[in-house]
């Protein structure tokens, strides 16, 4: 059974640009969450989607957005990139009714 797949693995963008990251959850998992990991702030929750609806959101500016498609795949978008957005972005999927979440390999975003 395939795990959580995130693409791309690495990305370099320039300040002011926008970026879209993709996450394919484990087959059958309808809950997808996104986290930002930085050396200074650690792992911070961005948002959670379930059945195409955002059901929880972390404390991030509106430049960070996401969506989920009918096949449970999810994308997150960051507009007007800032240097501080450089981070490892992790996606996790969960099976409804189960406690544990499974993470992808992450997308390393570098903003220059």
Partner 1 sequence: AQSVTQLGSHVSVSEGALVLLRCNYSSSVPPYLFWYVQYPNQGLQLLLKYTTGATLVKGINGFEAEFKKSETSFHLTKPSAHMSDAAEYFCAVRMNSGYSTLTFGKGTMLLVSP
Instruction: Determine if 21 is a binding residue for partner 1 (CB under 8 A).
Output: no
Q: Tokens for 63, please give them.
A: 């430049």
CB of 78 vs partner 1, minimal distance in Å: 19
The region, left, alpha or beta by phi > 0 then psi within -120 to 50, assigned to residue 97 is left
- 25 within 8 A of 72, measured Cβ to Cβ: yes
Question: Do the Cβ atoms of 23 and 48 come closer than 8 Å?
Answer: no
Q: Is 101 in the site for partner 1 (CB under 8 A)?
A: yes
- In whole angstroms, give the CA distance from residue 110 to residue 51: 30
Of 57-96, binders to partner 1 (CB under 8 A) are 58, 90, 92, 94
Q: Which is nearer to partner 1, 79 or 88 (CB)?
A: 88
The label of the residue with tokens 């570098």 reads: 110
Of 48 and 85, which has the nearer Cβ to partner 1?
48
Q: Is 4 in the site for partner 1 (CB under 8 A)?
A: yes
Instruction: Identify whether the C-beta of residue 78 lies closer than 8 Å to the C-beta of residue 18.
Output: yes
Of the pair 3, 75, the CB lying nearest partner 1 is at 3
Binding site for partner 1 (CB under 8 A): 4, 6, 31, 33, 35, 42-43, 45, 48, 50, 55-56, 58, 90, 92, 94, 99-106, 108
């Amino acid at each position: 059974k395939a795990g959580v797949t995130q693409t791309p693995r690495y990305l370099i963008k320039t300040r002011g640009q926008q970026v879209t990251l993709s996450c394919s959850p484990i087959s059958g998992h309808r809950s997808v969450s996104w986290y930002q990991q930085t050396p200074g702030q650690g792992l911070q929750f961005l948002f959670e989607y379930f059945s195409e609806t955002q059901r929880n959101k972390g404390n991030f500016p509106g430049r960070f957005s996401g969506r989920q498609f009918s096949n449970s795949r999810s994308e997150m978008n960051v507009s007007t990139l800032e240097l501080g957005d450089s981070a490892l972005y992790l996606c996790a999927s969960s099976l409804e009714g189960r406690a544990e979440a499974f993470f992808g390999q992450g997308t390393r975003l570098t903003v220059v």
